[in-house]
Amino acid sequence: MPAAAPAAPDAASAPAREQTPPDDLGTPFSTRYARFEPVPFSALPGWSADSARESLNAFRQSCLALGKKPVWDDLCAAAGRIETIDDPGIRRFFEQRFHAYSMQNPDQSDEGVITGYYEPLLEGSRTRSSRYPYPVHGVPADLLFLDAQVAAAGKRQWLRLDDRRLTPAAPGSPGARQYDVDMGDLTPGIRDKRYRVRAEGGRIVPYWSRQAIERRALDAQVLAWVNDAYALYSLQIQGSGKIRLAGGETLRVAYGEQNGHPFLPQASSADTATVGAAIKTRGLALGASSAAATSSAALPMATPQTAPAIQRDPDVARIIAALQGRGSGAAARPAAPAATPVAPVAPVAPAAPAASRPAAPDPEVAAIIAALGGNTSARPAASPAPAPASAPGDASPAAMGGTGQTTGIPDPSYVFFRLIPDGPQGPLGALGVPLTAGRSIAVDPRTTPLGYPVFVSTGGSSPSAGAVNRLMFAQDTGGAIRGTVRADYFWGFGPTAGDRASRMKETGRMWLLLPRDLQTSAMTAAVRTRSLGGPAALAECVVPDPDNCVEQ
């Protein structure tokens, strides 16, 4: 459970400010992807019943990243001075410092999907062996970034490498080189509008796919070797996790980077919408080019080796089994929904891992399996062609053979990791601060700025025992988290958290809390439109951010 706010004299209270009138609302505004309607805090279901002390601790985590930004410097300083452990006093802080906005889809509907994710545990070793053949890669040295605007400037360009970023350069200038730029059918990252690329002689091309990575010796640190390809795939889906080494030591890894390829289950064009609607795994998204990548003939797939000592992640194993043609029959039918919603009132704190993972059926996983198992045109990805030889001085790795076993997993997407300190705190999210079980969510940063408070409700007008009605904080992202009313609820660490996360899929509503003194281009456009009586270009981001939401 999240820790309570530090105890202090009961007489203390939130920083003094006059009580905000209930009808003192913000200004409505819209972006390209969402509408924001101001509402009083009394309209938030369960607002007065939520544990404000827990939310204050998560808010202070957001302040570690936002505390030096305009407006937030004052807010975070004020939050640091709060000495009360009284929930009403903490709620007054939010009511007096923020406006609440109902988050609405472009069609003005206010409902979406709330799912869950967690921090998994793997078994591994620092040394490669037949027992531990699958590498957990750090970020490769040859993984580079190319802005979408630069890529669109022409097929042949002069570029200079600045750290890992390729930037335009004057012909013949120091460090400049002329390249042919070919991104194929890939799209840039939705957050930073950048491609993940590599240099191949005089060409800039997309970074290696999963299949190519498994066959190559990457110029990347291997953080650990694990004994289950499916568990490693699950780790990549979740974005962070722990690895228990044979000697008893535990490593903790967090998302480092991604290879720039989309999550691609190789469904046909007829099934792409069905499969895409079913996918909820965080950190991944169904690629727009999936239909084009599907061939008209069945392709062979290798069968992954059976891991000797740890159970395969049940959800991922069922998906992979379906992709390999073993998911037909009863196993491919969607499971019946639970009689009552999962009650996210007790997020899972770090605990000793259980011997095995529960295999509770996940309706969305079953839907993926049903779509794939019943679709005769669904097929795995083609085996990659042998990599070309590297040119002298080229940033691409030499073709020296794979660093681990090939898995047969057809998804071209691949996640690289970095080591982070282990401890009782949660893993680091995209905001760069530790996640708090039960108070952190992953969001679409285009419609929900990272670090900001978001009230989430899955209770509706008659909340059940499993309803969520709580103030949470947008501290993470995920490739599958797309849309306005869309969030992934962080459950914590271990198999119990994984079981709860896999069973969580609720219809919900969300309210974004924006600082009263905040002014953004999205809000300014709304004011200008009303005052001048003419249309204004809608902003893409509620709050632009160079790492998480870049305006085009």
The burial of 146, by beta-carbon neighbours within 10 Å (0-12 exposed, 13-18 middle, 19 or more buried), is given as: buried
Tens digits of residue pLDDT in 70-87: 999 999 999 999 987 788
Report the pLDDT value the prediction gives residue 83, as an integer from 0 to 100. Answer: 81
Residue with tokens 């993972």: 357
Q: Which of 164, 168, 169, 176 is nearest to 151 (CA)?
A: 168
Report the pLDDT value the prediction gives residue 478, as an integer from 0 to 100. Answer: 83
Cα–Cα distance measured from residue 348 to residue 472, given in angstroms and rounded to the nearest whole number: 16
Q: Which of 21, 57, 24, 52 is nearest to 38 (CA)?
A: 24
Residues contacting 189, CB < 8 A, separation 6+: 195, 196, 258, 260
In the predicted structure, residue 362 carries a pLDDT above the cut 70: no
Locate 469 and state its tokens.
């009605």
Angle at 538 (CA atoms; ends 431, 533), nearest 5 degrees? 140
Q: Work out the mean pLDDT of the chain and round it to a whole number.
A: 75
Report the pLDDT value the prediction gives residue 23, as an integer from 0 to 100. Answer: 55
Q: Is the pLDDT higher at 37 or at 270?
A: 37
Rg (CA), the chain: 24
Tell me which of 261-265, 427-431, 433-437 is least confident: 261-265
Tens digits of residue pLDDT in 161-202: 999 999 999 998 999 999 999 998 888 887 788 999 999 989
Tens digits of residue pLDDT in 491-549: 999 889 988 898 899 999 999 999 999 987 777 765 544 544 555 678 889 998 887 78
- Binned at pLDDT 50, 70 and 90, residue 348 comes out as low
Phi, psi angle pair for 470, to nearest 5°: -155, 155
What's the whole-model pTM score?
0.71
Tell me which of 32-46, 55-69, 341-355 is least confident: 341-355
- Please report, for the chain, the start and end positions of each structural domain, with discontinuous segments joined by +: 117-138+221-420, 144-206
Q: Is the pLDDT higher at 297 or at 140?
A: 140
Span 3-11, mean pLDDT?
40
pLDDT > 70: percent of the chain: 66
Tell me which of 212-216, 248-252, 256-260, 346-350 is least confident: 346-350
- Binned at pLDDT 50, 70 and 90, residue 207 comes out as very high
